[in-house]
């Protein structure tokens, strides 16, 4: 256990100097500024034109969910690009030789890195999401979007992607790993749209393709379930908003995604255990 | 209870179609400074990695400190400086040593005392709180040497430890190796620098194309003093008579005879014998064979170092 915490501590300590973290923070701040500016002008227009309260609420809710969708996108990139070289880079540079030759288990190295990155990725998702909610609250006042159920799903989505990235790093080079994991997310993304369009068009085959894609690559399904919980009851009933979900993943998908994450971590531990350094 | 800190028999490792190590069979005793010599690609680094458990051998047997290769607890008594020591350059040397110390299970004031002591020993105390990214190659190498000694190891693996070091740095490494010997720590030294090996090692092994082909002691020299004498006349009786004093006797050219003796203590007896039998002795010179000459002789001219 102490070795795991030592590795995790080093992972966290390194971040103060890592350019990817600086870039992610700059992107986050820039996004919040752009989002805030857009929200401000829309809200002002709505007030000037004296739109009804419910209409203003609907527009603000949709913009809030759009903001959280952007958070989801930024977090996906962070969850993949932050840990992409944590194992492969250290193996290639030779750093791993002095670490792995210490009296620690290979599993401790993997789990320690997982833990450190999990803290960072979770922190990024939560801070950015709360940033969006705060910006909305400051500009538009209370809005009928409740992130309570959605945030854990977004966190699980990012942890899943992060874990798959770490697992890939036990076998692939940094660039190959990054491309592979983003491709893995791409399968989820496209599968999600196929499922939604299939549901709209009444095509069971398309819906099935989408579900299978989600089983192979669960991240997008977690966002869709989360966005369903984000939406106020009224918007769900209308069924016409850009983030409406015609086909909502079940909570079974949450368990599947959690199990997928654990399996990916187990694979990472086993794979790195046999890796010739 | 064996005093062998390393004992291997026919260790073998192949990567795909490349046979990196064909037959690693050697032993190193406690407190011994052991040199591992061979040209690039001979399998030296892969051999060290097998002994450290970084790479699994395909076949063969081996023990380190009496335990099977890769034993985790044993690694707590072993230090390792890889050939190109690298670490996260945002850390300072002090932070680097603390991190590695914690991986050894050290903590608290004991760790801090060791860190300070080692930083002073490798002459990095002044730079200890600066990030590694500002270090020269030599400074980085010295930081790596310090991390290899954190746990007061019983066995240390040094892979090209003087790489990047200036002459003062090399002297520092030699001094540290001497101190390790005095403390009873065994050192397994990979080096291309034959002068370094000759100056520090007790015993060396030559490795060629993944195979240990020759071992010899440097502490006890053996027949490595070459003697060259100019005599007349040279005949079969003379050459046969010289076999009583040494080996490898041969006539190089007209009047020039070479032989090898174990010690220069026999030379007065050789010159006395030549004079008493009526042979004219014009000159008698000795030359101790250098490790480089041994290297070339064992490896062959095609594997000349450097």
Is B303 inside a domain boundary?
Answer: no
Is B296 inside a domain boundary?
Answer: no
pLDDT confidence of residue B268: 92
Is B86 inside a domain boundary?
Answer: yes
Do B169 and B189 share a domain, yes or no? yes
Helix (H, G, I), strand (E, B) or coil at A176: helix
Instruction: Read off the pLDDT band of A240 (50, 70, 90).
Output: very low
In this complex, do A103 and B147 lie within 8 Å of one another by their Cβ atoms?
Answer: no
Do B266 and B211 share a domain, yes or no? no
Residue B221 pLDDT exceeds 60: no
Chain B hits for A99, CB-CB cut-off 8 Å, are 103
Q: How far apart are CA A201 and CA A203, in angstroms?
A: 5
Do B101 and B125 share a domain, yes or no? yes
Which residues span the domain enclosing B167? 4-217
Chain B hits for A86, CB-CB cut-off 8 Å, are none
Q: Is B55 on the interface with A (CB under 8 A)?
A: yes
pLDDT digits (tens, 9 = 90+) for A142-167: 998 889 999 999 999 999 999 999 99
pLDDT digits (tens, 9 = 90+) for B41-80: 888 999 999 999 999 999 999 999 999 999 999 999 999 9
Q: What is the mean pLDDT of residues B119-143?
A: 94
Instruction: Read off the pLDDT band of B302 (50, 70, 90).
Output: low
Is B301 inside a domain boundary?
Answer: no
Is B305 inside a domain boundary?
Answer: no
Kindly report the nearest CA distance between residue A80 and chain B, in angstroms. Answer: 20
pLDDT confidence of residue B74: 96
With a threshold of 0.90, does the pTM exceed it? no
CATH of the domain at B230: 3.30.70.260
Do B171 and B97 share a domain, yes or no? yes
Chain A hits for B49, CB-CB cut-off 8 Å, are 97, 277
* Cβ pair A128, A74 in contact under 8 A: yes
- Give the torsion sign (CA, B104, B105, B109, B110): negative
For the record, the structure tokens of B262 come out as: 């174990």
Chain A hits for B18, CB-CB cut-off 8 Å, are none
pLDDT confidence of residue B175: 92
* Cβ pair B140, B118 in contact under 8 A: no
Do B76 and B174 share a domain, yes or no? yes
Residue A237 pLDDT exceeds 60: no
Is B297 inside a domain boundary?
Answer: no
Q: Is B152 on the interface with A (CB under 8 A)?
A: no
pLDDT confidence of residue A16: 74
> If you measure CA to CA, which chain A residue comes closest to B76?
A103
Is B279 inside a domain boundary?
Answer: yes
In this complex, do A95 and B86 lie within 8 Å of one another by their Cβ atoms?
Answer: yes
Chain B hits for A17, CB-CB cut-off 8 Å, are 90
pLDDT confidence of residue A171: 95
pLDDT confidence of residue B194: 82
In this complex, do A95 and B87 lie within 8 Å of one another by their Cβ atoms?
Answer: yes
> If you measure CA to CA, which chain B residue comes closest to A109?
B103
Chain B hits for A272, CB-CB cut-off 8 Å, are none
pLDDT digits (tens, 9 = 90+) for A84-121: 999 999 999 999 999 999 999 999 999 999 999 999 99
Is B306 inside a domain boundary?
Answer: no
Complex prediction ipTM = 0.87
Terminal C-alpha separation, chain B: 41
Q: Is B84 on the interface with A (CB under 8 A)?
A: yes
- Percent helix, strand, coil in chain B, to 5, is 35, 30, 35
> If you measure CA to CA, which chain A residue comes closest to B98?
A6
In this complex, do B15 and A97 lie within 8 Å of one another by their Cβ atoms?
Answer: no
Kindly report the nearest CA distance between residue B183 and chain A, in angstroms. Answer: 22
Do B93 and B179 share a domain, yes or no? yes
Do B118 and B232 share a domain, yes or no? no
Q: How far apart are CA A73 and CA A118, in angstroms?
A: 17
Last residue within a domain, chosen from B189, B217, B245? B217
What Cα–Cα distance (Å) separates residue B269 from each residue in A49, B246, B273? 120, 11, 6
Please tell me the total count of domains within chain B.
2
CATH of the domain at B154: 3.40.50.300
For the record, the structure tokens of A87 come out as: 């194992």
Helix (H, G, I), strand (E, B) or coil at B267: helix
Instruction: Name residue, tokens 């903001």.
Output: A67
Do B33 and B132 share a domain, yes or no? yes
Interface test with A, best of B103, B157, B163 (most A CBs within 10 A): B103
Do B85 and B140 share a domain, yes or no? yes
Going by DSSP bridges, is the β-strand pair B78-81/B155-159 parallel, antiparallel, or unpaired? parallel
In this complex, do B54 and A277 lie within 8 Å of one another by their Cβ atoms?
Answer: yes
For the beta carbon of residue A15, count every other beta carbon within 10 angstroms.
18
Do B9 and B132 share a domain, yes or no? yes
Do B153 and B249 share a domain, yes or no? no
DSSP-derived letter for residue B265 is G
Do B137 and B273 share a domain, yes or no? no
Max Cα separation, chain A?
Answer: 70
């Amino acid at each position: 256990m102490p070795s795991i915490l030592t590795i995790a501590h080093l992972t966290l300590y390194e971040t103060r100097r890592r350019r990817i973290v600086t870039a992610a923070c700059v992107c986050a701040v820039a996004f919040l500024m752009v989002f805030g500016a857009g929200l401000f002008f829309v809200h002002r227009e709505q007030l000037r034109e004296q739109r009804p309260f419910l209409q203003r609420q609907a527009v603000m809710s949709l913009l809030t969910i759009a903001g959280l969708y952007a958070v989801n996108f930024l977090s996906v990139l962070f969850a993949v690009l932050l840990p992409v070289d944590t194992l492969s880079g250290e193996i290639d540079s030779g750093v791993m030789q002095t670490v792995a030759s210490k009296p620690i288990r290979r599993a401790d190295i993997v789990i320690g890195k997982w833990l450190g990155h999990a803290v960072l990725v979770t922190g990024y998702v939560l801070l950015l999401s709360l940033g969006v909610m705060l910006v909305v609250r400051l500009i538009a006042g209370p809005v009928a979007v409740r992130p309570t159920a959605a945030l854990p799903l977004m966190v699980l989505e990012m942890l899943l992607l992060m874990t798959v990235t770490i697992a890939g790093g036990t076998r692939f080079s940094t660039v190959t790993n990054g491309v592979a994991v983003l491709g893995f997310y791409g399968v989820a993304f496209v599968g999600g749209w196929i499922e939604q369009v299939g549901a709209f068009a009444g095509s069971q085959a398309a819906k099935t393709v989408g579900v299978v894609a989600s089983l192979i690559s669960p991240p997008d399904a977690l966002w869709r379930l989360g966005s369903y919980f984000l939406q106020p009851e009224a918007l769900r009933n209308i069924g016409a908003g850009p983030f409406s979900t015609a086909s909502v993943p079940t909570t079974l998908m949450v368990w599947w995604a959690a199990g997928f994450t654990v399996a990916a971590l187990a694979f990472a531990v086993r794979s790195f255990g046999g890796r010739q350094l | 209870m064996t005093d062998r800190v390393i004992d291997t028999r026919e260790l073998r490792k192949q990567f795909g179609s490349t046979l990196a190590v064909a037959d690693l069979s050697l032993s190193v005793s406690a407190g011994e400074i052991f040199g591992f010599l061979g040209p690039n690609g001979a399998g030296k680094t892969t051999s060290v990695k097998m002994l450290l458990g970084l790479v699994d051998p395909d076949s063969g047997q081996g023990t380190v400190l009496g335990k099977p290769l890769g034993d985790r607890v044993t690694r707590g008594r072993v230090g390792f400086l890889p050939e190109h020591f690298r670490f996260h350059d945002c850390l300072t040397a002090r932070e680097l040593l603390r991190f590695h110390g914690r991986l050894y299970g050290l903590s608290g004031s004991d760790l801090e005392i060791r860190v300070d002591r080692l930083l002073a020993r490798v002459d990095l105390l002044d730079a200890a709180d600066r990030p590694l990214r500002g270090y020269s190659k030599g400074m980085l190498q010295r930081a790596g040497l310090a991390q290899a000694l954190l746990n007061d190891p019983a066995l240390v693996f040094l892979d090209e430890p003087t790489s990047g070091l200036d002459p003062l740095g090399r002297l520092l490494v030699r001094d540290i190796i001497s101190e390790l010997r005095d403390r009873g720590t065994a050192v397994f030294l990979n080096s291309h620098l034959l002068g370094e090996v000759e100056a520090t090692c007790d015993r060396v092994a030559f490795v060629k194309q993944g195979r240990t082909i020759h071992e010899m002691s440097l502490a006890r020299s053996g027949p490595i003093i070459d003697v060259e004498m100019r005599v007349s006349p040279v005949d079969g009786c003379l050459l046969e008579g010289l076999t009583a004093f040494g080996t490898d006797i041969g006539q190089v050219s007209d009047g020039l005879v070479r032989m090898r003796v174990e010690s220069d203590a026999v030379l007065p007896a050789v010159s006395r014998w030549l004079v008493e039998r009526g042979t004219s002795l014009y000159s008698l010179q000795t030359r101790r064979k250098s490790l480089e000459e041994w290297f070339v002789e064992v490896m062959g001219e095609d594997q000349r170092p450097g």
